[in-house]
Amino acid sequence: MPYAFALLAAVIFTLAGAVATLATAFFSPLRNLLGFAWRMWLWGSVGFIIGNVVLLAILFPFLSNVGIAGGAPRHPDVLGFILLGLTLLGPLLFSSVGVILGCLYGWLLARRRMAQPGV
């Protein structure tokens, strides 16, 4: 279920990025923001993908040998709670952090590009 919310967030982010980029491209008072819009959209999408890949890389070693017909349940331990938290909240957390950091990186790139004279 958390992955469904992360997918919904990705769809909303993609649609919002498309609307923002198209608005800055076609609405002349906002044309100066086009460099910011497409860079933030691009790097936010890259951050979303990287965030989910990192989460799956963290969870893969723990979940690779889990079978349906396992043995008797173990006593709850700290690692089990951490894995439960990563499984339930990880997709939203890692996706959000990836998008935020990606957008921040895109904004910094656009700001640096706009600060150069003659560009």
* Mean pLDDT per 10-residue segment, the chain (119 residues): 83 92 90 90 93 88 64 68 83 91 94 75
pLDDT of residue 82: 81
Q: What is the pTM of this model?
A: 0.78
pLDDT of residue 44: 93
Q: Is 83 left (phi over 0), alpha (psi -120 to 50) or beta?
A: alpha
Between CA 74 and CA 79, with CA 78 as vertex, the angle to 5 degrees is 75
| Domain limits, the chain | 12-43+78-119
Q: What is the Cα–Cα distance from 80 to 20, expressed in whole angstroms?
A: 42
pLDDT of residue 5: 85
pLDDT of residue 118: 60
pLDDT of residue 16: 92
Q: What is the Cα–Cα distance from 63 to 56, expressed in whole angstroms?
A: 10
pLDDT of residue 42: 94
